[in-house]
Each structure stands twice: as C-alpha cells, then as structure tokens.
Amino acid sequence: MTDTTAPFGFTEDDLHAADIVGVTIVWADNNGIPRARTVPLDQWPSATAKGVGITPLFAVFDTHDAITFSHDGLPDASGDIRLVPVPDRTVPLAGQPALAWAPGRQVGADGSPWPYDQRGVLERQVDAADAAGLQIRAGYEIEFFLDRSGDGPDAVPGHDGPAYSARALITVDAFVVALLRDLRANRVPVGQLHAEYGTAQIELSIAPTDPVTAADLQLLARQTIHATAARHGFRASFSPLVLPGDAGNGWHLHTSVWRDGSNLLSGDGPHGLSDDGAAYLAGLLRDLPAIVAVTAPSEVSFQRLRPGYFSSAYGYWGVENREAALRLVPGTEFTGRTQANVELKPSDASANPYLALAAVTAAGIGGIADGLSLPDPIAANVGTWSEEQRRDAGVRALPGSTAEAVGELRANPRVSAALGPDLLGAFTAVRGADAAWAADRDAADIITAHRWRY
Ligand code: GLU
Ligand code: MG
C-alpha cells in the first residue's frame, strides 16, 4: 500500500546510535494543527507496542484549543485512546538533535480502529483506490512567511524581497542552507526552494510519493522548518494569510492517478489526458466545494481565497492556469510525460493533510468510477468577469464561509463517506466552534489570532 521508495527507513538501532533521548509522536488534528507526545527512548518499545494514552477529545479541539462538546459521539471528557507511533517512519531530527520524530496512529484503548483517526481515513481511501486498480501520487508545495520578530503576535518580515530573487535569499542564507541540510537529513525530498511573491515568503516543494507518505512528509517538513527557523532566530508562519491584503500561504496539493505503472493524466486525448485522467480531473471538479471544505477549512482560509492572488477563488480548471482552482500541469517531452499532475490551489496548512488527501482521492476515483467527462478548460481569471459571464460558463465561487463549506461537505456523498460519519460529525462540530469564535471578530483580528497556530 505504501511506497517502497518511501524516504524513511531508520531503525531503533539508528535511534540509539544517534543518542536519541526522546521520540516526538505527531498527529494532525481536525484544524491541521500538529499535536504531539514525546516519549523517552527507554519507553519506545512500550510506545510502539501499545501506544500512549491521549484523550478522545482531540477530535473536537478547535483551532484555538477550545473543546467543543456539540458532537454527539464525543459528549463528555470520559474515555481514553492510544497514540501509536509508526515505527518504520521514525526519523532522528537533524534540527533538534537528541529528538526523533514519528507520525502517530490513533486507535481505541483495546487497539481497535478509532473512527476519528485521520491517518486511518486516508489509508482506507488508498485501499479503495487500490481495489479499483488505481494509485494516487501526491506531493505538497509549501509556502510560508519568515518572521524575525522573535515573539509576540505581530509579524516582522524576515527578508525584504524582491520576490523570486536571489538577493532575498542571500539575506537569509544561513537559514536556507541549514533548512536544506536539515530537510535532507530528515529525508524530506525537496524539489526546489525560492523566495515567493508574498512578503518575506519562501516556498519549497516536496517530491511526490504515495498519499500516506505525502501527508507524513508534510508534517515532518513543518516540524523541520519550525525547528530550523527557531535555531536561526526566525519564526515561520504557515497560516493561510499572515498579513491583510498580502499574498497568502497556499499549500498546493499536486496529485496524479496511475494504473499499472502509467500516469493516466498523460494520454492521447484532449489536453494530453487519457479518458480516465480526464475523468479523475472531472471528479475533482465535481466535488470541489466539498473538497475545499476539507482542504482550506479555517476561518482564515476564506480570506486567502481571493481572485488575482493565484490562490483561486472560483471552481474551475485550466491548463497551466494559476488562477484556476485546478491547474493541469501537463507532462511534456522535455519534462517527461509521466510528470503530468493536477494542482489543487485552494489547499492550505489549516487542513489535516490526511483528510485533504482522502477527500481528493475519493473525489478523483469517483470521477473515474462514474466515467465523468471534462468541460473545456478556462484560461482566464474569471474574477475579472461579470456575474453573468461566470453563470453562463457554469463557474461558481468556492465556499466563502463555514456555513457554506459545511453544507457542501455534508451534501457530498463521496467526500463525506470518505471521512465516515463519526469523523464528519467531529470535523463539522469543530468548524462550527471556529465559526462561533470568529463571529464577533473582524478580519484583521482573525488573521492575527491564526498567525502562529500552525
Ligand atoms: N501564494 C499563492 C496562494 O495563496 C500561490 C502563488 C503560487 O504559487 O502560484 O496560494
Ligand atoms: Mg507558490
């Protein structure tokens, strides 16, 4: 099920050889916030065998660490579940010597599957795809704001640009070098890194792998970036929008769909797609509002999704169109036909990466199962069109509020089934709690409050 070329592979002996003192077991909650427990190395055999106890209520933590009891399945503080590290995914952390990192699985107190375990939700979707003879490859592209304020709520740009310039990176040279070194040592395969368009923004891309590995790597990359930044006197903000009116931090999700070793996004049909590749993309387009409810779910996500910022604001697809929510990146003879992939723009760090990939997988595989056909691509920024032009072209705005997004998610049979009824209930309860928190706050306060959460 998982990638045989997965970039992990440290053993318990490696942990001892590296003088590791503790292992931090990380999972991402329903707000995309990585939560963790650290066990001393002498507890590692026990932790891998039977996990460590955590409260079931992490499923109903909101973005601000409040707990909502509005989900019927988790109505009180009783009970305990186990957080079990995935031993073959353990990595001694270059940026935090003496600590190692491992992704965690959540299981019931008796070891049985726990329906709120986000990693398990994705594993089930990967298995469903496999049963249909299909494999997804996925890789994240990560944007972040580099801050040099030290602490406090405000953001102070860590570099002064210019965007995409070598000069911007020279001013943060030591950090960039350390980051590339730490990511390599932590076995996060990086495609490239650059100074992005936004204020003090940096972007790096992670090479594609199987979906579970892609989500694990996304969590490991964030841990690494935070640690390296801290060592160099910086802070990283992964929040979807760090400064009002600025470019946001997209965590674009690139996927492709494969059968028998062939990339179905590369074929002889229109736009260089195979029929099944077109159906995959059509599946993502059909379910886009529900996908976005999972991939850009926070109160600050809605502020990021504006036309003209390459973040996407409307539900349409285009060939290499950076304004479109779904950007087909065709493989060429030069880059390699197998490189074809589709980029989901409305995706950010407030999404749980396992749930994000589960939603995308369910939608894409559903498109193939239903033999969907793809409408024509749009090359324009439809944000410059009139309402009427958009209506005529069948283009809708992406969900602009929690109420809308949750409505789309609940109404969508494929994405809600992928989450399962229990997790869907907890996830939507948490969204409701976040929305209630935001109700009497203005846009700038919401941005400030999210700035250092991820
Ligand atoms: N920063 C943009 C966003 O919010 C994306 C820019 C780009 O990489 O095209 O998603
Ligand atoms: Mg970018």
Residues written for the chain: 454
Cβ(313) to ligand 1 under 6 A?
Answer: no
Query: Is the CB–ligand 1 distance for residue 345 below 6 Å?
Result: yes
Task: Rounding to the nearest 10 degrees, give the CA dihedral for residues 114, 117, 122, 126.
Answer: -30
Q: Are strands 135-147 and 190-195 parallel, antiparallel or unpaired?
A: unpaired
Evaluate if residue 2 carries a pLDDT over 80: no
CA distance 57 to 236: 28
Q: Which residues of 360-372 are buried (b: 16+ CB within 10 A; e: fewer)?
A: bbbbbbbbbeeeb
Mean pLDDT of 390-413: 97
Assigned token pair, 146: 């580099």
Q: Is the CB of 254 under 6 A from ligand 1?
A: no
Q: Where are the alpha helices (DSSP H) in 104-210?
A: 118-131, 166-170, 173-185
Q: How far is the CA of 52 from the centre of ligand 1 (A)?
A: 38
Question: Is there an atom of ligand 1 within 6 Å of 311 CB?
Answer: yes
Answer for the pair 211, 265: CB distance below 8 angstroms, yes or no. Answer: no
- Would residue 453 be called left, alpha or beta, if left means φ above 0 and alpha means ψ between -120 and 50 degrees? alpha
Of 252, 322, 347, best ligand 1 pocket probe by most atoms within 8 Å of the beta carbon: 252
- At the top level of CATH, which class does the domain 12-114 belong to? alpha beta
| Domain spans of the chain, in order of start | 12-114, 124-451
* Mean pLDDT estimate for the chain: 96
* Cα–Cα–Cα angle for 217, 151, 351, rounded to 5 degrees: 30
> Given a cut of 60, is residue 1 above it in pLDDT?
no
pLDDT of residue 249: 98
Q: At 90, list the tokens.
A: 């353990």
Task: Locate the DSSP E strands across 17-58.
Answer: 22-28, 34-40, 52-54
CA–centroid distance for 365 within its chain: 19
Q: Which atom of ligand 1 is least distant from the CA of 201?
A: 1
**196 alpha carbon – ligand 2 mean position (Å):** 6
Tell me the per-residue pLDDT of 91-124, one tens digit each, with 9 for 90 and over: 999 989 999 999 999 999 999 999 999 999 999 9
> Which ligand gives the minimal distance to the CA of 249?
1
The two tokens of residue 107 are 């299981």
Nearest-angstrom CA–CA distance, 374 and 165: 38
Distance 186 CA to ligand 2 centre (A): 23
pLDDT digits (tens, 9 = 90+) for 154-170: 999 999 999 999 999 99
When pLDDT is averaged across residues 365-394 and rounded to a whole number, the result is 97
**pLDDT tens, 125-137?**
999 999 999 999 9
For residue 337, how far is its CA from the centre of ligand 1 (angstroms)? 25
Kindly give the number of the ligand 1 atom that is closest to the alpha carbon of 143: 1
What is the percentage of the chain residues whose pLDDT exceeds 90?
95
Question: Is the Cβ–Cβ distance between 271 and 324 less than 8 Å?
Answer: no
Q: Express as a percent the part of the chain with pLDDT over 70.
A: 98
Q: How confident is the model at residue 6 (pLDDT cuts 50, 70, 90)?
A: low
> pLDDT at residue 5 above 90?
no
Choose which residue among 253, 345, 447 to substitute to test ligand 1 binding: the one with the highest number of ligand atoms within 8 A of its C-beta: 345
pLDDT in tens, 72-92: 999 999 999 999 999 999 999
CA distance 124 to 142: 25
Q: For ligand 1, say whether the CB of 92 is within 6 Å of any of its atoms.
A: no
Whether pLDDT at 240 is above 80 = yes
Say what the pLDDT of residue 27 is.
98
Per-residue pLDDT of 30-79, as tens digits, reads: 999 999 999 999 999 999 999 999 999 999 999 999 999 999 999 999 99
User: 311-320 burial by CB neighbour count: b if 16+ within 10 A, else e?
Assistant: bbbbbbbbbe
Per-residue pLDDT tens for 159-200?
999 999 999 999 999 999 999 999 999 999 999 999 999 999
Q: What pLDDT, on the 0 to 100 scale, is given for residue 137?
A: 98
Band the pLDDT of 9: cuts 50, 70, 90.
confident
pLDDT tens column, 254-296: 999 999 999 999 999 999 999 999 999 999 999 999 999 999 9
pLDDT of residue 181: 97
Dist. CA 75 → ligand 2 center (Å): 41
Residue whose pair of structure tokens reads 């304004």 in the numeric block: 323
Cis peptide before 240 (omega within 30 of 0): no
Ligand 1 atom with least separation from CA of 141? 8
Question: Quick one: which H or E segment has residue 319?
Answer: strand 317-319
In tens, the pLDDT along 309-326 reads 999 999 999 999 999 999
Smallest-distance ligand from the CA of 348:
1
Confidence band of 149 (pLDDT split at 50, 70, 90): confident
pLDDT confidence of residue 4 = 42
Ligand 1 atom closest to the Cα of residue 248 is 4
∠ CA 415-421-422 to the nearest 5 degrees?
125
Q: Which residues contact 111 (CB under 8 A, 6 or more apart)?
A: 50, 82
Query: Is the distance from the beta carbon of residue 145 to the nearest atom of ligand 1 less than 6 Å?
Result: no
Candidate of 310, 323, 344 to mutate for ligand 1, largest count of ligand atoms within 8 Å of Cβ: 310
Please give the CATH number for the structural domain made up of 124-451: 3.30.590.10
Name which residue leads in pLDDT, 224 or 337. 224
